[in-house]
Amino acid sequence: MLILSRRKGESIIIGDNIEISVVDVQGDIIKLGINAPRSLSVHRKEIYDEIQAANREALQNLPTAEQLKKLQDI
């Protein structure tokens, strides 16, 4: 992993079109500004992890034919 130091107001550029800047630093909270093409999705990692886990669980928890029938009958 590349690790580098930045001060408030400084930024890094990834490739030629993704810029991440440090907008503010207050204690252990860092506010980041992200400039990236709209086609790229940016998510908080823990949220993305949660959705991945939910999708995997839904795949594991497909209804049996019998369960599906009961679901439809409600």
Query: Judged by CB, which is closer to other proteins: 27, or 37?
Result: 37
**Number of neighbouring beta carbons within 10 Å of residue 53:** 10
Instruction: Write down the least CB distance from residue 50 to other proteins, Å.
Output: 6
Q: Are 21 and 30 in contact (CB under 8 A)?
A: no
Instruction: Write down the least CB distance from residue 73 to other proteins, Å.
Output: 9
- Interface positions with other proteins (CB under 8 A): 38-39, 41, 43, 47-48, 50-59, 61-63, 67-68, 70-72, 74
Measured distance CA(45)–CA(53) in Å, rounded: 12
- Max Cα distance, the chain (Å): 60
Tell me if residue 52 falls in helix, strand or coil.
helix
Query: Judged by CB, which is closer to other proteins: 13, or 53?
Result: 53
Instruction: Write down the least CB distance from residue 54 to other proteins, Å.
Output: 4
